[in-house]
Amino acid sequence: GAVVSQHPSRVICKSGTSVKIECRSLDFQATTMFWYRQFPKQSLMLMATSNEGSKATYEQGVEKDKFLINHASLTLSTLTVTSAHPEDSSFYICSAHTGTSAYEQYFGPGTRLTVT
Amino acid sequence: DQQVKQNSPSLSVQEGRISILNCDYTNSMFDYFLWYKKYPAEGPTFLISISSIKDKNEDGRFTVFLNKSAKHLSLHIVPSQPGDSAVYFCAASGDGQNFVFGPGTRLSVLP
């Protein structure tokens, strides 16, 4: 099946610094990628939808200047958490959509961000 | 190697009947499980969860069963409704924070 990777899997950073998380579709071209935030024992929260070559669409309540998303190619989307704070500590998951079917969406393994 | 498997990529059920979605996992350290429902172009919606200290959890039409010895869980939807047509993902965790997702099963409920 289709594979989506995320890098890094875990990152610890200091408050005030920026962190970049990469999401790659390894064996298919992803026209759309989604970024989620997972809270402990709660549902995934969709943060934004990233379309290749265009600006990301952010969900209500998500600060676009804080969570910068770039979908530069059909296989790579990046999420940059700028000026990170401890409350940004979370599990971030991306998923990639193949475009051939609305149901075909593959999740990455997630990135655990800890801001100290 | 997939740690969480959903071996049926799709399932069709008649309205009013029971839908049973299955999920298998390989990591014996997993002790918390979630089911998500996802419509096209939307984020997943949390449905129901179960921890390893239980073997059943029920919420309205949705019931999740956990068989730890078989490393198997299932989601039952009774009665199935057309609005239940979506992709269902199971997810597993060993720490309640980091989750591994299955590939999903597409459920179609036929009127």
Q: Is A86 on the interface with B (CB under 8 A)?
A: no
Q: Each residue of B41-95: pLDDT tens digit?
A: 565 677 898 999 999 999 999 999 999 999 999 999 999 999 999 989 998 888 7
Nearest by CB to residue A103, choosing from B36, B40, B99, is B40
Phi, psi of B83 (to 5 degrees): -70, -10
Chain B residues near residue A34 by CB distance under 8 angstroms: 43
CA distance B59 to B26: 26
Q: Each residue of B9-22: pLDDT tens digit?
A: 899 999 999 999 99
CA distance B65 to B11: 18
Q: Is A34 on the interface with B (CB under 8 A)?
A: yes
Chain CA centroid to CA A116, Å: 21
CB contact under 8 A, A105 and B38: yes
